[in-house]
């Protein structure tokens, strides 16, 4: 189906948002379910002629289960976040050393330092990519699991409310099929509410007054293509 969240601009953003459940991005979602395959208990046949839209990405992450599980994933990945920050700090310290001491180093010392930076840069980039892949895979596993259970609820809702066509608006046109749709035909919240009742997962606690909700508790997993710092030239 469409894709879902993966955005990071730098290691700093990566540390805060790649493992966090963040606001925007793209990572593959499972294929949209059909009425026949979504569940052994098929929903009633659609007899209406109204058109509805649903943002499946938002529905997954807005559900109580989605908020709970992506928050748990964010906490689970915090040690890797800390590890990557440490690697980045070490790399930046070496680059600063090269920039400030380059004119004082002989050719051999400068060459050794440059080589060290290049080696650590490559290692850091590999670590970031591996972490991104792992985070995205785990995000997708959660999304697929929730969607598999949400699909019959979604199809039952539209069938019982007179809708004959349901369109996903997770991706904007031209990546998605919908050019424009008004809020009056959007059933995302209604489906989420129905799913929350069925799942039995309670709503996550609201932050205490005066506190700021951490980035890790946002509603969508994020990641951005990492833009590693370039190695200074001697």
106-137 pLDDT, tens digit each: 889 889 999 999 999 999 999 999 999 999 99
Question: Which residue's structure tokens are 């050019």?
Answer: 179
Question: Which residue's structure tokens are 């369109």?
Answer: 167
- pLDDT value of position 217: 35
- pLDDT value of position 210: 61
139 vs 120: CA distance, rounded Å: 28
Q: Say yes or no to pLDDT of 150 above 50.
A: yes
57 vs 42: CA distance, rounded Å: 22
Q: Say yes or no to pLDDT of 191 above 70.
A: yes
Task: Please compute, for residue 202, the number of CA atoms within 13 A of its CA located in the half-sphere on the CB side.
Answer: 3
209 vs 186: CA distance, rounded Å: 31
Average pLDDT over residues 89-109: 90
For residue 139, what are the CA distances in angstroms to 18, 85, 215, 234?
Answer: 10, 21, 16, 41
CA 38 to chain centre: 24
Confidence of residue 163 (pLDDT cuts 50, 70, 90): very high
Pick the more confident residue, 10 or 149.
149
- pLDDT value of position 42: 58
Which one, of 215, 192, 228, lies nearest residue 56 by Cα? 192
């Amino acid at each position: 189906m469409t894709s879902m969240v993966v955005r990071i601009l730098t290691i700093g953003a990566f540390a805060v948002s790649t493992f966090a459940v963040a606001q925007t991005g793209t990572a593959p979602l499972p294929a949209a379910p059909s009425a026949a395959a979504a569940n052994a208990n098929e929903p009633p046949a659609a007899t209406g002629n109204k058109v509805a839209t649903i943002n499946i990405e938002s529905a997954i992450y807005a559900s109580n289960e989605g908020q709970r599980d992506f928050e748990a994933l964010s906490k689970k990945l915090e040690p890797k976040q800390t590890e990557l920050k440490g690697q980045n700090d070490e790399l930046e310290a070496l680059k600063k050393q090269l920039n400030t001491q380059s004119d004082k180093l002989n050719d051999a010392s400068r060459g050794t330092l440059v080589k060290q930076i290049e080696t650590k840069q490559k290692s850091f980039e590999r670590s970031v990519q591996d972490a991104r892949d792992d985070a995205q895979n785990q995000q997708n596993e959660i999304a697929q699991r929730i969607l598999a259970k949400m699909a019959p609820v979604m199809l039952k809702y539209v069938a019982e409310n007179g809708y004959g066509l349901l369109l996903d608006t997770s991706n904007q046109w031209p990546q998605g099929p919908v050019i424009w749709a008004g809020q009056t035909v959007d059933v995302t919240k209604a489906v989420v509410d129905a799913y929350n009742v069925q799942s039995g997962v309670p709503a996550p606690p609201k932050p205490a007054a005066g506190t700021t909700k951490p980035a890790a508790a946002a509603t969508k997993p994020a990641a951005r293509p990492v833009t590693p710092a370039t190695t200074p030239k001697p």
